[in-house]
Chains A and B, each alone.
Chain A
Amino acid sequence: KAGVTQTPRYLIKTRGQQVTLSCSPISGHRSVSWYQQTPGQGLQFLFEYFSETQRNKGNFPGRFSGRQFSNSRSEMNVSTLELGDSALYLCASSTGTGISMNTEAFFGQGTRLTVV
């Protein structure tokens, strides 16, 4: 069974540009969550999607957006990149939403974004 796939693995962008990251969840998983991981702030929740609907959003500016497609694949977009957006962006998929055991998250290996 294929795991969570994130593309690209590494990305270098210039301040002011925009970027789109992709996440393909495990087959059959309908929930996708995104996290930003930095040495200073740790792992911070960005958003969660379930069946193409954004279920929750973390405390990030509107430059951060996302969507989920009918095949459960998800993309996140960051516009007008800032140096502080440099981070490891992790995507996680799970079978469901809620708080039960089946919301155990399976993580991808992440996309490391560097903004210069």
Chain B
Amino acid sequence: AQKITQTQPGMFVQEKEAVTLDCTYDTSDPSYGLFWYKQPSSGEMIFLIYQGSYDQQNATEGRYSLNFQKARKSANLVISASQLGDSAMYFCAMREGNTGGFKTIFGAGTRLFVKA
């Protein structure tokens, strides 16, 4: 079963507008971490934002915020005031495990296109 689901293969947004990238996850562990990464066409993966399963408040990092709805198991990324440089692949990831070992599972990604 898919543990991380990103249902939007591609998204378009107008420059300076906000956009929400969806992510749902599945885990039975009470402790987990959720991450979003950006992968530009150059290939490197860039960390954007983190949300811990016990964090009470939604994470924010500059123009990025994470809309964390624990009961619905969703962790959507909101990018405000989109810029042309935001055009890239975006991956949602979940880290889970225990002292015996941890692993990070990635979603299939959403390709974001920012239009001028």
Do these two chains really belong together in a complex?
A: yes
State the A residues within 8 Å of B (CB): 33, 35, 42-45, 48, 55-58, 88, 90, 92, 97-101, 103-110
Give the size category of B's interface with A: 20 to 34
With a cutoff of 8 Å between Cβ atoms, the chain A residues found around residue B42 in the complex are: 109
A57 to B46, CA, bound (A): 23
The minimal Cβ–Cβ distance linking A25 to chain B, given in whole angstroms, is 14
A25 to B28, CA, bound (A): 31
Interface of B is mostly: strand
State the B residues within 8 Å of A (CB): 31-33, 35, 37, 42-47, 50, 52-53, 91, 95-97, 100-109
With a cutoff of 8 Å between Cβ atoms, the chain B residues found around residue A106 in the complex are: 47
Which of B32, B35, B100, B103: most chain A CB closer than 10 A?
Answer: B103
- A33-B104, A97-B102 known; A107 vs B45 contact (CB < 8 Å): yes
Closest to A110 in B: B43
Whether the Cβ atoms of B102 and A101 lie closer than 8 Å is: no
